[in-house]
Amino acid sequence: MLSIKRVKGVMGAFQVAAVLLAVTAAGSASAQGMVERLKSEGAKIAIGNEPPYSQISPTGEVTGAAPDVARAVLKKMGIEKVETVVSEYGAMIPGLQARRFDLVAAGLFMKPERCTGALFSEPDVCGAEGLMVKKGNPLTIKGHADIAANPSLKLGVCGGCVAEKYAADAGVKRSQIIVVPDVPSGLKMIQDGRIDAYSMTALALNDIVAKTSATDVEVVAPAAGTPIACAGAAFRTADIEFRDAYDVALADLKASGEFDAILTKYGFATEATKQASREQLCEGPNP
């Protein structure tokens, strides 16, 4: 951190002003320099392979609401080349901090604890939590509290996902929670009876049921007691100018109608993303 001592005289005042101007210019140049570098080199984004938020097709094509929005925003910023890296959700913020990628575009939900370790854009996708259970819901599971009330029940969650917080808030014990690597695994574990419910966004659960034509499971949504959550692109805490420039381009995308077209394609409603704000979701400034 730059320290400026108090100086006497007119010449000293001019020197202080010159230093402050240089610091401001350096910050602006740094932000501009990063955008220019990404225009030249391309941006590397992390995805989670959790459809419909982000996914990789059998042919290797990266699709999903979050990366599609990110690519459209980056294109507006003049960044055409985008490389993707698959990451577990719990490793995304550490990966950002370690500079393994430039931003996360994976449907990473904003919550206060995450907002201390990363910068987020304004919301890009929103959804409600659901629960996958056996067909007919024989255990009458409507929410995480029902699992907490029966210690013999097992709940599947993805590591680092907001479902862990919902479960903890409802009183689900750590011994009841099974970490599941992805949505297809969650479906298989329900079918095999290894877990009694799998907690994930309703969109992701409905998507896997539709893709597999599974008839032995059903989705309870929204899960009782859980709020609607919103995600945004995530950035390193040092990259505030880059995040702010991204926000400007994201606002342009929302105003153009292109944003609505992308989200509708994947089954998302767009109004929540336009009404919710980063500050509300982070429960304060970010930073």
pTM, full prediction:
0.68
When the pLDDT of each residue in the chain is averaged and rounded to a whole number, the result is 88
Number of Cβ within 10 Å of residue 222's Cβ equals 17
Indicate if 87 and 152 belong to the same structural domain. no
How big is the CA angle at 234 (ends 44 and 249), to the nearest 5 degrees?
80
On whether residue 252 sits in a domain, the answer given is yes
Note the pLDDT of residue 32: 61
Q: Which residue among 189, 211, 227 closes a domain?
A: 227
Using CA atoms, how far residue 217 sits from 148, 152, 197, 210, 259, in Å, is 21, 20, 10, 11, 32
- Structural domain harbouring 167: 129-227
Indicate if 118 and 142 belong to the same structural domain. no
pLDDT tens-place string over residues 26-63: 444 455 688 999 999 999 999 998 888 999 988 989 99
Indicate if 38 and 84 belong to the same structural domain. yes
pLDDT tens-place string over residues 138-192: 999 999 999 999 999 999 999 888 899 999 999 999 999 999 999 999 999 999 9
On whether residue 2 sits in a domain, the answer given is no
What is the Cα–Cα distance from 26 to 214, expressed in whole angstroms? 56
Indicate if 178 and 216 belong to the same structural domain. yes
Tokens found for residue 75 = 């294109």
On whether residue 23 sits in a domain, the answer given is no
Indicate if 39 and 159 belong to the same structural domain. no
In this model, does residue 2 exceed pLDDT 50? no
On whether residue 71 sits in a domain, the answer given is yes
Confidence of residue 3 (pLDDT cuts 50, 70, 90): very low
Indicate if 77 and 136 belong to the same structural domain. no
What is the Cα–Cα distance from 149 to 146, expressed in whole angstroms? 5
* Beta strand pairing call for 125-134 and 228-231: antiparallel
Whether the bond between 222 and the residue before it is cis, its omega within 30 degrees of 0, is yes
pLDDT, average across residues 7-29? 39
Determine the 3-state secondary structure of 238 from DSSP: coil
CATH assignment at residue 97: 3.40.190.10
Indicate if 257 and 219 belong to the same structural domain. no
Indicate if 197 and 63 belong to the same structural domain. no
Note the pLDDT of residue 161: 87
Q: Considering only 24-38, 113-127, 186-200, 230-244, which range has the smallest mean pLDDT?
A: 24-38
* In the chain, % of residues over pLDDT 70: 89
Q: Which residue among 201, 227, 253 closes a domain?
A: 227
Indicate if 188 and 210 belong to the same structural domain. yes
Structural domain total, the chain? 2
On whether residue 138 sits in a domain, the answer given is yes
pLDDT, average across residues 127-137? 94
On whether residue 44 sits in a domain, the answer given is yes
Indicate if 87 and 62 belong to the same structural domain. yes
pLDDT tens-place string over residues 80-92: 999 999 999 999 9
On whether residue 25 sits in a domain, the answer given is no
On whether residue 21 sits in a domain, the answer given is no
Indicate if 181 and 252 belong to the same structural domain. no
